[in-house]
Structure 1
Amino acid sequence: MDTPPGQCPQCWRHAYDPSIHRKLKPREDCGPCVDHMKNGCPYIVPKQKSSWF
């Protein structure tokens, strides 16, 4: 699954690939997801080109 333009690869993969979180126990947090929520995305995400101007 390719990451769409303008999306963080890690955020996209963790949101749409259920196998990543399958190993977690009930109510257990995913370390990389928690880090993203606290510190933001570590990737410089290119913005999508705006087509209206």
Structure 2
Amino acid sequence: MAAKQTPPGESPQCWQHAHDRSIHRRLNPREDCQPCVDHMRNGCPTLTPKKPSRWW
């Protein structure tokens, strides 16, 4: 399954790890993904910019 394009306002790493099962397939049961753990502890450093709001 090919990874989809990251939507605006989402972290590319979060989006890819949530929607591409092949990334976590190599992990053993109950084994944590180190990039995901680091991302949870340190936050999302790179976010895709949101589209400007045109409400008003």
Q: Which of the five TM-score ranges fits, normalised by the shorter chain?
A: 0.7 to 0.9
Unaligned ranges ≥5, structure 1: none
State TM-score, norm by structure 1.
Answer: 0.84
The correspondence for 1:43, drawn from 37, 41, 46, is 46
User: Retained in 1: the 8 A contact 2:12–2:47?
Assistant: no
Aligned pairs, how many?
53
* Alpha-carbon shift at residue 41 of structure 1 (Å): 1.1
Give the percent of matched residue pairs that are identical in Structure 1 and Structure 2: 66
Q: CA RMSD in A?
A: 1.4
Normalising by structure 2, report the TM-score.
0.80
Question: Where in structure 1 do 4 or more consecutive aligned residues deviate above 3 Å?
Answer: none
